[in-house]
Structures are given as C-alpha cells and as structure tokens.
Amino acid sequence: MCGIVGYSGAQDAAPILLEGLKKLEYRGYDSAGIAVLNGNSITVSKVTGRIANLCEKTADGKNCPGTVGIGHTRWATHGAPTDTNAHPHLSNDGKFAVVHNGIVENYMSLREELIEKGYRFESQTDTEVIVHLIEMYYVGDLKKAVIKTSARLQGSYALGVVCTEEPQNVYVVRESSPLILGVGVGENYFASDVTALVSYTRNAIYLEDGEFAKITPDSITVFDPAGQPIQKKISRITWDIQSAEKGGYEHFMLKEIVEQPRAIKATIAPRIKDSEIVLDETELTADYLRSIHKIVITACGSAYYAGCAGKYAIEHLCHIPVQVELASELRYSNPLIDEHTLLIVLSQSGETADTIAAMKECKKRGAKTLAIVNVVGSTIAKTADETLYTWAGPEIAVATTKGYTTQLAVLYLFALYAAKKMNRLDDETYGKLLETLITLPKRIQETLDMNSAIPNLAKKYHTTGSMFFIGRNTDYAIALEGALKMKEISYIHAESYAAGELKHGTIALIDEHQPVIALCCNDSVMEKTMSNIVEVKARGAEVLAVTFKENQKIVSLADDVIFIPKVETIFSAAVEIIPLQLLAYYVAKENGCDIDKPKNLAKSVTVE
Ligand code: M6R
C-alpha cells in the first residue's frame, strides 16, 4: 500500500525517483509525486493517476532539477486520490517534505493539536501531521526533529524526509512498514522494496522497526530509536533485474503464470538432499513436531486459500488437526492457541498488516510461528520463529499466481517432512510422494502446454456478469482461489461454492446466465461433483469442467472441458489452479481490464 523511494547523490534525482516509482507502482497507483531539493528550495510535482502522468508532467524529471529527492506512489486511505492528497507533503514554511507508507492511527488528535498551534492543513491525509510535527520540532537539527516526531506517532510508517537546511541529507524511519536502504558508490538510495533498487545497486541494508537512518551521497548512518548509531549488515540482493521486468510478455501476470514451473522447482529442489526433505533453515525437530496438538494456518486472500488447500495435505499425511483462519478474523477472535499449537503464517509480501497482527497475537499466547514468505527480510519473515522462503522471485502483478503456487509447494514439503518426522508415513509412501512432488514443475509445464484453447474459451465466457466455481474437498479449495482470480482482474462477479452445498439454497440462482466452472480433480469425490454438474445443467447453466485427461466421461456432461495431467490428489491443487489463472487472465484481457493493476487494489496490504 503505497511505495516510497529516495535518492542522495551526484546525478539528477528526479529520473531515478521516477524509475523507482515505476517499479513500485504495483503497491498503489492512484496518484504519485516527487520532491527534489535544489539549493534552498524544494520542487514538488504531484499528479492524480499513474506514474506515466507524473513523467509527462515533469518531462521525465527534467522540470525538477536537483540531486536529492523523495518520491511516492499512493493507494489512498485517508482522503480521495487527488493532487492535493498525493505525497510528498510540504511543511507550511516550505522547508520540509515528507513521503509516508503506512497509517498514522492517532492523526486526528495530532491534527487538532497542530491546528490549535497555528499549522495550516492542505490535505485530508493522515501523513500531513508528520511534516508539521517535523517543522514544529526542528531547531537546527533534522535528526532530533525526526526522533521527536517518531515518538509522537502511533501506527505504521516508513518515512522519507528532506529539508532545505540540510540539502544533502535524506532521513528515513521504519516502523511496521517495509523500508530498505540501497548502498551505492557516491550515491545512496532507499525504497519500499528491492525491485526499485536492483537497477542501481545490489547492496542493501534492511532496517528493523524503530530504526532510522541518515542518507547522504557518501554515507548511510543507521540509528537506534534513541539516536545512537548502530552497525548494520550489508546484504546482497539476489533478485535479478529481468525478473522484475516484463521480458516481452504483455503483462506481468502472464509472465508470472508461465514462470511457475521454474519458481516451484527453485522452491522445492534445494530442499531435497539424497531423497530426503531437509528443512535445515528451521528447527522443526521430530521432538517438537510430535509435541504439538494442532496446526493453525493464518493468512489473507489468496494466501489464505493456499492454506485451505495445504490443510488437506497436512491433515492427510500428518494426521493432526489443521485449522485455517483468516488473519483479519483470527486477530480479534481470542483464539484458543497455546504452546502446543504450531502457527503457520502464509504471505507473499511478508508485510500484510492483518497477518502480522494475527501472528503477534498467537505468539503472545505461546504458539511457535512458522512463516512461509516470499520477500526476504520482510516483517513476517523477521518476526516469525522459523521461516521457509518461497523462491518465486519478485511478483509484480497484483493478482498472485507464482506466489500462491510456491506457497502450496512449501506446504506440501512441510506436510511430507512433518509426516516423516512424526512417524506417520512409511518409507515407501514417503518415497513415492516425494517423487510426485519433485515432478510437480513438469506437470505444471505440461498443463501450460496443453491449454492453448483457453483464450478461445475466454471469448465464450467473458460477457457473463456472474459465474460459479464449484468443487469438493481439494477441488473446493481451488474453487476459492479460481473465483478470486476471476473477480480481482476481470471484475466479473464469481462465487466459489462447495458443490454439495448448492442444493441448500444457492441452486436457486442457477440458470442459463450463470456459467459454472466445475472442478473435478479429486478422485474420492469426482462422481459426486459430476452429479452436481448434471444438476446445474438441468437448470440451464453452461458448464466448463476442469479434470484429468483420463476422465473422458465428463465430456458428455460438460459443455467445455479443460484437461490437466493426472497428479496425486493431495498435491493436485498446484496444477489445477493453472487453467483458472489463465482463464481469469484471458477473460480480463477480452474485457480490456488493467490486468496487472486492477482497480481499487494494491499488492501489499499494509493497512488493516
Ligand atoms: O502478501 P500476502 O500474501 O500476505 O497478501 C495476501 C493477499 O492480500 C493477497 O494474496 C491478495 O489476495 C492477492 N491480490 C490475490 O491475488
């Protein structure tokens, strides 16, 4: 939710800020702005809409001369997306500019206090209180003003601050919002994530909550919350530039769909040694795993749906109860969680506010936390007791694809690993299932290769106003994710339903205007779902079925069939979702939607 960048060096700052903002645009894209220091003045340029508008307004940065600056791309929380509400925000005396990602929870009382003291507000944002506080606390030392301001703020914030009195310096602060420093030679950077940095440097410093830093062209000094300098490790960024670019594809989403075999291989392969799963990044010992009474999985959106699919694998293999909870609900549910609970936290970004809060709540109650996260050094990765990274590489499209399937891959690895450690699986079955897991990337590649008809199916189904996704058991978990993909990028209403539940009311909605996507990849309930297909057909629905190529029976029941290769049921979700991602993509394309940046959404949901 919002992306921020900053630069201090010898080059013109504005083009570097604009390039960085383009990379961060997936985080929020309703308005944008930059502030560039030029001697003792600050040039601010802000626009409603995309970064392209900002490039146009600033003539690609040429209208904003200066070598130090900050930038912002916004996902509106407080105040509509307007030029005035766009960041950076300026102080009344014009000496300070601030960009902010996060939410200042106590902004109302701070705003009243500042108005009483005579400060004038231009915007409806929570952020504007920050720049007025800095002006109020500034007595010739920006560092002190930043410390005093931070102490007044409640909520989450990653800040970039510049001041005309210190024209080479950029101050940044991190509290519960991502912020990474880029270490260059004669120039330094900051950004909300590494994608904005990799074109310039591979050396990064990850700030912890409460830390802040002073960035100049020649130095980066990191301070603890009290203002004492601290030593920080410089980490190497391993993501390459190409993986954060479209590489010839029309959209990031399509590129990321196609990347899934590679991403899953990168996630699974390094963790298999001599035909054994080795999770030596964690301390999930046999003794510990045997001591737990239940597993709770928590996450939001697609990550939650990955948890729903993972539950089947873990319960089936480990014979331990698994509860899957929406993080936004779990955090306020007074959960029955103690030291005998393993909490698995799923998050692509590692920055989702509800997921972080649910994790902290469960930690407080004694649960051990295992994070499955894609972004290295993210808040969830750092807060969890144990972390298993998904090695998907940067995921730019707002709709997750490879982020979701690599989460499934790690859940499958965990399920098999834990089952073995807990003595719930004989060696032969373990060996066979491991073999299936290793071949998942191949099966996904075959699925991609055999589904060239999906663009044509999209032409048939794209005009509908609403559709149903039905399935049972693992197929139901996939129906949930398939419907979300369709909704978020094509804006077509899509409802996922447990196939057996239709007759308890919802079937009243089924008619010739409601196409039904029927998922039939779970052998144990396939016949049952096929009966449901017959029932919806009898009420006039067009049915598009997804099934294994061996299931030719379905051809006479459904109007259209998408075939996928046969995969062991507990791992089938990772293959079954592929055609649904493609269907959503091509339907959205038919409808002329902005596929990578759907309306009202943002990639990283750092607000509650
Ligand atoms: O970064 P996270 O995995 O924590 O994000 C969770 C959800 O916001 C995310 O999966 C969202 O539902 C996606 N846009 C779905 O494609």
How far is the centre of ligand 1, averaged over its atoms, from the C-alpha of 300 (Å)?
6
> Does an H or E element contain 89, and which?
strand 89-90
**Tell me: the pLDDT tens digits for 10-20?**
999 999 999 99
User: Mean pLDDT lowest for which of 99-103, 134-138, 142-146?
Assistant: 99-103
Question: 541, 544, 539: which is closest to 584 by C-alpha?
Answer: 544
- Whether residue 595 is contained in a domain is answered as no
Is 362 an active-site residue?
no
Closest atom of ligand 1 relative to the 355 alpha carbon = 4
Residues 458 and 314 in one domain: no
Q: 213 falls in which pLDDT band (50, 70, 90)?
A: very high
- Whether residue 444 is contained in a domain is answered as no
Counts of helices then strands in the chain (DSSP H, E) = 19, 27
**Tell me: the pLDDT tens digits for 541-556?**
999 999 998 898 899 9
Question: 566, 271, 335: which is closest to 447 by C-alpha?
Answer: 566
Residues 169 and 79 in one domain: yes
How far is the centre of ligand 1, averaged over its atoms, from the C-alpha of 46 (Å)?
28
Q: What is the pLDDT of residue 378?
A: 87
User: Mean pLDDT lowest for which of 314-318, 583-587, 602-606?
Assistant: 602-606
- Has residue 367 got a pLDDT over 90? yes
- Has residue 144 got a pLDDT over 90? yes
Q: What is the pLDDT of residue 397?
A: 94
What is the mean pLDDT of the segment spanning 495-515? 92
- Whether residue 600 is contained in a domain is answered as no
Name the domain count of the chain: 3
- Has residue 581 got a pLDDT over 90? yes
- Whether residue 371 is contained in a domain is answered as yes
Question: 21, 13, 36, 18: which is closest to 73 by C-alpha?
Answer: 21
Residue 585 belongs to domain spanning: 454-590
DSSP 8-state code for residue 85: T
Pick from 177, 257, 298, 302 the residue to mutate for probing ligand 1's pocket: most ligand atoms within 8 Å of its CB.
Answer: 302
Q: What is the pLDDT of residue 557?
A: 94
How far, in Å, CA of 428 to CA of 376, rounded? 35
What is the mean pLDDT of the segment spanning 115-129? 96
Residues 473 and 529 in one domain: yes
Which residue has its alpha carbon closest to ligand 1 atom 8? 301
How far is the centre of ligand 1, averaged over its atoms, from the C-alpha of 582 (Å)?
18
Q: What is the pLDDT of residue 474?
A: 96
Residues 275 and 227 in one domain: no
- Choose one of 438, 470, 489: the last residue of a domain: 438
- Whether residue 520 is contained in a domain is answered as yes
Q: What is the pLDDT of residue 248?
A: 84
What is the mean pLDDT of the segment spanning 340-345? 98
88 prior amide bond cis, ω within 30: yes
Q: What is the pLDDT of residue 466?
A: 96
Active-site option among 265, 485, 487, 603: 603
Give the HSE-up count for residue 366: Cα atoms under 13 Å, Cβ half-sphere: 9
Q: What is the pLDDT of residue 376?
A: 84
Kindly state the percentage of the chain with pLDDT values over 70. 99
Pick from 256, 257, 300 the residue to mutate for probing ligand 1's pocket: most ligand atoms within 8 Å of its CB.
Answer: 300
pTM: 0.85
**What radius of gyration, in Å, describes the C-alpha atoms of the chain?**
25
How far is the centre of ligand 1, averaged over its atoms, from the C-alpha of 79 (Å)?
24
- Has residue 187 got a pLDDT over 90? yes
Residues 418 and 461 in one domain: no
Residues 204 and 180 in one domain: yes
- Whether residue 445 is contained in a domain is answered as no
Q: 112 falls in which pLDDT band (50, 70, 90)?
A: very high
- Has residue 185 got a pLDDT over 90? yes
What is the mean pLDDT of the segment spanning 295-321? 98
- Choose one of 405, 438, 471: the last residue of a domain: 438
How far is the centre of ligand 1, averaged over its atoms, from the C-alpha of 403 (Å)?
9
Residues 228 and 85 in one domain: yes
**Tell me: the pLDDT tens digits for 227-246?**
999 999 999 988 776 667 78
CATH number of the structural domain spanning residue 504: 3.40.50.10490
What is the mean pLDDT of the segment spanning 260-282? 95
- Has residue 606 got a pLDDT over 80? no
Q: What is the largest CA-CA distance in the chain?
A: 80
Question: 391, 351, 38, 376: which is closest to 178 by C-alpha?
Answer: 351
Q: What is the pLDDT of residue 190?
A: 98
Active-site option among 2, 300, 318, 520: 2
Which residue has its alpha carbon closest to ligand 1 atom 16? 399
Q: In this structure, are residues 569 and 520 in contact, taking their beta carbons and an 8 Å threshold?
A: no
Kindly state the percentage of the chain with pLDDT values over 90. 87
3-state secondary structure of 55: helix
Residues 55 and 97 in one domain: yes
Query: What CA–CA distances, in Å, run from 330 to 14, 20, 208, 343, 360?
Result: 43, 35, 25, 11, 11
Q: What is the pLDDT of residue 600?
A: 85
What is the mean pLDDT of the segment spanning 515-535? 94
Ligand 1 is surrounded, with C-beta below 6 A, by 300-303, 347-349, 352, 355, 398-400, 484, 488, 604-605
What is the mean pLDDT of the segment spanning 258-267? 96
Query: What CA–CA distances, in Å, run from 231 to 211, 220, 221, 227?
Result: 11, 10, 8, 13
CATH number of the structural domain spanning residue 102: 3.60.20.10
- Whether residue 404 is contained in a domain is answered as yes
Residues 302 and 217 in one domain: no
Q: What is the pLDDT of residue 29?
A: 84
Alpha helices, H only, 220-341? 252-258, 260-268, 286-291, 301-318, 327-330
What is the mean pLDDT of the segment spanning 527-543? 94
- Whether residue 538 is contained in a domain is answered as yes
Q: In this structure, are residues 577 and 552 in contact, taking their beta carbons and an 8 Å threshold?
A: no
- Choose one of 438, 467, 492: the last residue of a domain: 438
Is 143 an active-site residue?
no
Q: What is the pLDDT of residue 234?
A: 96
**Tell me: the pLDDT tens digits for 443-473?**
999 999 988 899 999 999 999 999 999 999 9
> Does an H or E element contain 206, and which?
strand 203-206
How far, in Å, CA of 67 to CA of 255, rounded? 35
Q: In this structure, are residues 565 and 549 in contact, taking their beta carbons and an 8 Å threshold?
A: yes
Residues 131 and 238 in one domain: yes
3-state secondary structure of 117: coil
Place of tokens 């010898």: 10
Residues 166 and 225 in one domain: yes
How far, in Å, CA of 178 to CA of 207, rounded? 8
Q: What are phi and psi of 177, to 5 degrees?
A: -140, 145
Pick from 349, 373, 407 the residue to mutate for probing ligand 1's pocket: most ligand atoms within 8 Å of its CB.
Answer: 349
Q: What is the pLDDT of residue 498?
A: 95
Residues 119 and 150 in one domain: yes
